Chains A and B, each alone.
Chain A
């Protein structure tokens, strides 16, 4: 898996782990989120997830959740930004 390889690389180089939550923005068309704990907000323009004491917010237009299970989510649409606060 790409994210696992990336996680190993970061762990080796920086000594930190990314296993709490991870996300990847694929060309502004799709966002893959791992480690989400639930939906906070769901609209066409903004989708927010709880991630380890923080909130991951995806902003854009015509957003919808393509896949959603108890750990991962795939968000499709025109993604403008992904912010974790």
Chain B
């Protein structure tokens, strides 16, 4: 029951007063007529404002006796009355603490290092919210060398930190362009990077042709991916030789044959064969006996070889040796190269014919 205002009225025509209150839609409780001119009644708080002018109009002697049912109402709502200020106090108290730290712009290790730095400075979830956010910005800027900009904002009980990383110069991320062949640089076209050689320089295979950086207006190196086409005059060499007399191995005609049966790669019927000849060559022949069962018959034939001394006519066979050296030179020719000159020289030294073919080419060596 809601608390009621208890009123004592002294006067005449009290019945009329009650009827007036009835006409004004005022609900009365506990109306007691103690004497002919004394009456007690109660109204609730909302309607009390309607009752007051009514009582004044009739010039009754009025006495307010206090609030009826207040104790009952208090006991019933005691829990709410106690909890509301406690909850408000708790809310006010909790707003002094940090309940969330949100970090944007940092990833991986940087994220964890930011949290670590904040913790070292007594800023963490569950601890008192720092008053000065700019101080946190300064701390993070001092502690993190690879951070360019930090902004820290307090939003309620959350601490929001935005981090911008520095663009770090990493020269090792690009490799220089190196020479693929030996040669003399004839021309180049540079797109990015810095040339390490000039036209006319001799370069060996592996030498740096273009550095992976450029220089800015202050003379500082700025890392770039080197792109260039370097063309050089290069030499490709092919050489062969032929001795006046040489030892060659030829079959003597003697041969020895063994055979064995293998099932699932295991020998079933075989005998260990000693070396049949001092010098020999072999030929192996495998034959599947059945198309269903994996049985293989292996036949090994040993051919005896004999050493024969062969004499060559170096003059007569010079063209053949030169052709061989030329063939070897062309085999080593790089793709997309242009042949400028071809020269073959032959020389007989100590009964041996040496032939060398040198191709002068223009090729891209980068």
Contacts and interface: CB of A to CB of B under 8 A. Distances in A.
A and B co-occur in one complex: yes
Main secondary structure, interface of A, reads: strand
A68 B22 contact: yes
Interface stretch (A1-9, A15-23, A40-48, A52-60): A40-48
B15 interface: yes
A66 B30 contact: yes
A69 to B, nearest CB: 5
Give the one of B19, B23, B25, B39 with max A CB within 10 A: B19
Contact of B27 (A40, A43, A68): A68
A27 B203 CA distance: 126
B3 to A, nearest CB: 16
A38 B32 contact: no
B29 interface: yes
Interface in B31-74: 31-34, 36, 39, 41
A55 B28 CA distance: 21
Contacts of A44: 32-34
Interface in B212-237: none
A64 B19 contact: no
A49 to B, nearest CB: 10
Contacts of B32: 44, 64-65
Contacts of A65: 28, 30-32, 41
B60 to A, nearest CB: 15
A44 B38 CA distance: 11
Nearest to A47: B33
A41 B28 contact: no
Contacts of A43: 33, 36
Contact of A70 (B14, B23, B36): B23
A64 B30 contact: yes
A39 interface: yes
B325 to A, nearest CB: 126
Interface residues of A, number: 14
B242 interface: no
B23 A68 contact: no
B18 interface: yes
A43 B14 CA distance: 11
A70 B27 CA distance: 8
B72 to A, nearest CB: 15
Contacts of A39: 15, 18-19, 22
Nearest to B24: A70
Contact of A67 (B14, B22, B29, B36): B29
Given A38-B19, A42-B33, A68 B14 contact: no
Contact of A68 (B29, B33, B34, B36): B29
A40 B33 CA distance: 13
A41 B29 contact: no
Contact of B18 (A64, A66, A67, A68): A68
25 contacts: A40-B15, A42-B14, A42-B15, A42-B18, A42-B31, A42-B33, A42-B39, A44-B33, A44-B34, A64-B31, A64-B32, A65-B28, A65-B32, A66-B29, A67-B27, A67-B28, A67-B29, A68-B18, A68-B22, A68-B27, A68-B31, A69-B25, A69-B27, A70-B23, A70-B25
A64 B15 CA distance: 13
Nearest to A38: B19
A42 B19 CA distance: 11
Contacts of A40: 15
Contacts of B25: 69-70
Most chain A CB neighbours (cut-off 10 Å) among B23, B25, B27, B39 = B27
A70 B25 CA distance: 6
Contacts of A66: 29-30
A55 to B, nearest CB: 13
A70 B29 CA distance: 12
Given A44-B34, A66-B30, A70-B25, 5 more contacts: A42-B14, A44-B33, A64-B31, A65-B28, A68-B28
A39 B29 CA distance: 14
